[in-house]
Structure 1
Amino acid sequence: MTTYHALRQVPAAAQYKEGDVLVLCGELFGRGYANGIVDEARKAGMTIIGTTVGRRDGDGTLRSLNGEELAEAEANIGGKIINIPLEAGFDMEPCGPDGRSIADQLKGVKPDDWEKVSFDWNQIEQARQQGARRFKANLGLVADELARLLPSGANVIFAHTMAGGIPRARIFMPLLNRVFKGQGERFLPSETFWKSDLGKLCKISFDDVTGDTFRYLIDATAGLRDKINGRYTAYGYHGCEVLIDGNYTWQSYTPYLQGWAKIRLEEIAEEAWKSGIKATVFNCPEILTNSSALFLGVENSLYMLLAALEKEAPGPAADGIRTACLALLADGITIDDLLTTAHDYLTDPLTVAGRDLSSWPQHNSLPLQELMLNSSAKLIAMNRNPKEIVCAVLSQEVFRGVGRLMFDFSWMPDAPVVWLNHDVIAKRLATV
């Protein structure tokens, strides 16, 4: 069990400067957590070096970015992209006697037949090893490029941004929609799915993409650490403390099936830390983004950030965020209405029953899922326009707070795993 270490106070400002470097291991798409640390690095005058997952051609061949794609990716991060494909995972690797990939094997499987799917696990392991070899070989080439690009003596943040790992087969999305968003007869218990062959495949893939790539990054850049002062950051999730009835209380989204892979990520950081390597996983608060839209209801606890801001940081920062949120609400709806509805969800006996950090992650139940989704619908309906919602404002603020906290903490890190809860996010947002 990972030691629970919550960051309670805003760390001192980092001393990164021009000539220091932020290296992103993973490609940025749209706005997400990683944009926060990129923004901080840019403000500090650091050089930003990105990577790419590459692209797949119509025949499935993995390739580097073409000229147009590369220009767009470099404009997105404001720096150089090392154009060597770092796609993680193994679902497209040929395996077995016929050389078909796992994705190919799953083509044509109908949603109603998902429980009949079975795998030759030796083939799965063969594909996993092939995918790992490909990834590590390309990561080695990236490290060779970095050896040429990184100035001697520079402070370097290696930011691991890889997550996910849902295999690329159509069968998964209708199933996962039932697991995460299903109600009534459409509900599929997460434990039932997780114990099936498709669920077991997902677990191996999540571990590989979300967790093991962090170890590969640390190992591949070992030779650079004599030349530079390197530290490693990664994005975790392991529940989050929010303000409930005056107290910061740990709670979590359920069912977070990627949770086991996030625990693996923490364990990799802890192993590295014991070897004297500055590697930290930052467990971040729940937000709602394009990539998290599958997990509708994950944002229910996000509204409580407004309460944390009032408690920790009354003044211009809290007032500005509150005003921006209020402007998005439908006529007659107040911030207190939002907080009351979110509070009702977080204090419902069904939700309270899941507040067990030691047994995280937990599987779902139909009553809990319906409570969560109905609460989410109520909260989103309080917005004037469903495309311009309070969650977007609060998510952006969390990006900013997390980015600054990670950036500053990484200068003199003191733990391999850190929780960034609503209290320290609020404190950070209130500090210029």
Structure 2
Amino acid sequence: MTTYNALRQLPAAAEYKKDDVLVLCGELFGRGYANGIVDEARRAGMTIIGTTVGRRDADGTLRSLTTEELAEAEATLGGKIINIPLEAGFDMEPGAGDGRSVVEQLKGVKADEWDKVRFDWNDVEHTRQQGARRFSANLGLVVTELGKMLPAGANVLFVHTMAGGIPRARIFMPLLNRVFKGQGDRFLSSETFWNSDLGKLCKVSFDEVTADTFRYLIDATAPLRDKVSARYTAYGYHGCEVLINGAYTWQSYTPYLQGWAKIRLEEVAATAWAEGIKATVFNCPEILTNSSALFLGVENSLYPLLAALEKEGNGPFAEEIKASCRALSNDGTAIDTLIAKANDYLSAPITVALRDFAGWPQHNRPEQQDFMLNCSAELLAMNKNPKEIVCAVLSQEVFKAVGRLMYDFSWKQDAPVLWLNHDVIAKRLVTA
């Protein structure tokens, strides 16, 4: 089991300079965690090199970006992108038997027959290996290009951003909406789903996309470590400490099915560390982004950050954050009201019952999910506009703070796994 290791004090400022390079393994889509560290690198004048997952044509063929797509992606990144598709996973790889991918095998499966789906697991393993070979081969081509671009002796910060892995078959999203958002008759036990063949397929896919790609990256870039000083970072999640009844307390979103893959990601970093490679997984706080919107209720744990800002010293920037939140809240809704409602949720017995670090991640329960989603709805209703919410402001500040903490810590890494909790996030923000 991973040893709990939280960053408590702000790390010293990193000393990256103009000739140093940040390499993003993954593609930026919208605003999220990766933007924070990219912004820090840009401010330092580092060269930024990105990658792409590529695109799929209508017939399913994986391809590089077109000229227009590449220009748009490079504008978003603010750097050059090596235009070789690094799509992870195996859901569209042809099977060994009749050649059908798992996505093709799931076409036409009806919503009420999902639990009757059965896979040939030898065939699934065949497609997994096919996907891994494709990814690794393309990653090798990317590394060859990097070898031409990286200055000898440079400090190179590799940032792994690949996560997820939900197979691209239509049957999954309705089911996962029931798992994460279902109430009453629409509730679906995450444990029931996870133990089904569709759930087992998700587990293999999550492991491959979220965790194994980090190992592939570390292995593929081994030749570059003779030329440059390499550091590796990745984004994890394993619960987070937030202020509950005035004390920083570990808690977690439930159900988080990707949690097992995140533990595997931590294990990849620990193995690399034992081999003398500087690789750190940063377990980040909950935020609300386009990709996390499936996990409705995850944002309940964001509101205590407002209390953490006060506890860690407040200051002008913290006041700006709170002013932005007040402006988005319903008239008459005070910051303290948001904090108190979130605290009620986090301190309720039904929530506390799932606060089990050793047994993480936990599966959902009907009454727990009802309570979480109802609290989420109440908190979201405290915003004037459902499209402009307090959580968006707090999420943006969290990923900026996380980006700076990761950036600075990576200069002198001293651990393979690190928790970034609300205490150090608030410390970072109040001293911004």
- The match for 1:228 is 228
Residue pairs, 1:48-87, within 5 angstroms: 48-87=48-87
Unaligned runs of 5+ in 1: none
Structure 2 distance, partners of 1:10, 1:344, is 30
- 1:271 has 2:271 as partner: yes
- The match for 1:423 is 423
- The match for 1:330 is 330
- The match for 1:179 is 179
Residue pairs, 1:360-399, within 5 angstroms: 360-399=360-399
- The match for 1:201 is 201
Contact 2:153-2:228 at 8 Å conserved across structures: yes
Structure 2 distance, partners of 1:378, 1:162, is 33
Structure 2 distance, partners of 1:354, 1:405, is 29
- The match for 2:315 is 315
- The match for 1:105 is 105
1:308 aligns to what SS in structure 2? helix
Residue pairs, 1:153-192, within 5 angstroms: 153-192=153-192
TM-score (norm 1): 1.00
Matched residue type, 2:189: P
Deviations 1:178-226 (Å, cap 9, x if unpaired)?
0000000100000000000000000000000000000000000000001
Structure 1 distance, partners of 2:73, 2:315, is 38
Deviations 1:227-281 (Å, cap 9, x if unpaired)?
0000000000000000111210000000000000000000000000001100000
- The alignment covers a number of residue pairs equal to 432
Structure 2 distance, partners of 1:105, 1:18, is 50
- Superposition deviation, residue 96 in structure 1: 2.8
- The match for 2:210 is 210
Structure 2 distance, partners of 1:314, 1:174, is 43
- The match for 2:255 is 255
1:243 aligns to what SS in structure 2? strand
2:358 aligns to what SS in structure 1? helix
- The match for 1:296 is 296
Matched residue type, 2:63: R
- The match for 1:40 is 40
Deviations 1:381-408 (Å, cap 9, x if unpaired)?
0001111100000000001100000000
Structure 2 distance, partners of 1:286, 1:423, is 14
1:291 aligns to what SS in structure 2? coil
Structure 2 distance, partners of 1:143, 1:296, is 38
- Superposition deviation, residue 331 in structure 1: 1.2
- Superposition deviation, residue 313 in structure 1: 2.4
Name the Cα RMSD after superposition: 0.5
Structure 1 distance, partners of 2:328, 2:58, is 42
- 1:14 has 2:42 as partner: no
- Superposition deviation, residue 314 in structure 1: 1.6
Contact 2:245-2:347 at 8 Å conserved across structures: no
Structure 2 distance, partners of 1:290, 1:334, is 27
Structure 2 distance, partners of 1:65, 1:96, is 29
Runs ≥4 in structure 1, deviation > 4 angstroms? none
- Superposition deviation, residue 344 in structure 1: 0.6
Unaligned runs of 5+ in 2: none
- Superposition deviation, residue 361 in structure 1: 0.2
* Identical counterparts, % of pairs: 78
Structure 2 distance, partners of 1:367, 1:376, is 14
1:24 aligns to what SS in structure 2? strand
Structure 2 distance, partners of 1:274, 1:168, is 36
Structure 1 distance, partners of 2:271, 2:341, is 42
Structure 1 distance, partners of 2:155, 2:400, is 22
2:286 aligns to what SS in structure 1? coil
Deviations 1:88-118 (Å, cap 9, x if unpaired)?
0000000132111110000110111001100
Structure 2 distance, partners of 1:380, 1:246, is 23
Matched residue type, 1:396: Q
1:216 aligns to what SS in structure 2? helix
2:253 aligns to what SS in structure 1? coil
- Superposition deviation, residue 430 in structure 1: 1.4
- 1:281 has 2:281 as partner: yes
Structure 2 distance, partners of 1:430, 1:339, is 18
- The match for 1:118 is 118
Structure 2 distance, partners of 1:103, 1:388, is 36
Deviations 1:126-149 (Å, cap 9, x if unpaired)?
000000000000000000000000
